[in-house]
A = this chain, B = another copy of it.
């Protein structure tokens, strides 16, 4: 039991470090966020920081844990039930994806992922297995059910899933880029919904 955390918010130095590190890493990347800056952000000296983490790498790994920790809240039964109805499944899935895209915390983690993707082999592999494969698996299961129920045209469910998720990813990337520079995302605001509509027209029978 983590003590009486529910009553009194601890906000320990260690937590402060993680918060500061998250902000700096997701903004400047691993190399760009120096230990000095992190310590300064917390309000302590670099040396004090080493009382809580072994080194910079350890801090980063702690931060990076959150990159792939936002699974969709879809239960097995929920997938089956929704997929049976067709389009509503895609709509709910996309709405959840859109929420993640515009959620500050997840936005930061997505940016960190994009910054470090080409620099960190572990992150690349996690992206493939925990982001890509996971999404493909969930979606293709849904499409398979739709196919069984003759809601959509016959086709490889994995291919349909690939086609569907790739556009979601691209929209998310664009939104993240625009928001990073505080540009308006008005032109992309309804892109998620348009995608679902277009896609459903493409596969429905």
Q: Which residues of A contact B (CB under 8 A)?
A: 28-29, 31-32, 111, 114-115, 117-119, 121, 124-125, 127-128, 132, 153, 155, 159-160, 162-163, 165-167, 169-171, 174, 177, 180-181, 191, 194-195, 198-199, 201-203
Contacts and interface: CB of A to CB of B under 8 A. Distances in A.
A114 B169 CA distance: 14
Contacts of A32: 31, 119
A77 B163 CA distance: 30
Nearest to A118: B115
A124 B177 contact: yes
Contact of A194 (B121, B159, B202, B203): B159
A4 to B, nearest CB: 40
A185 to B, nearest CB: 12
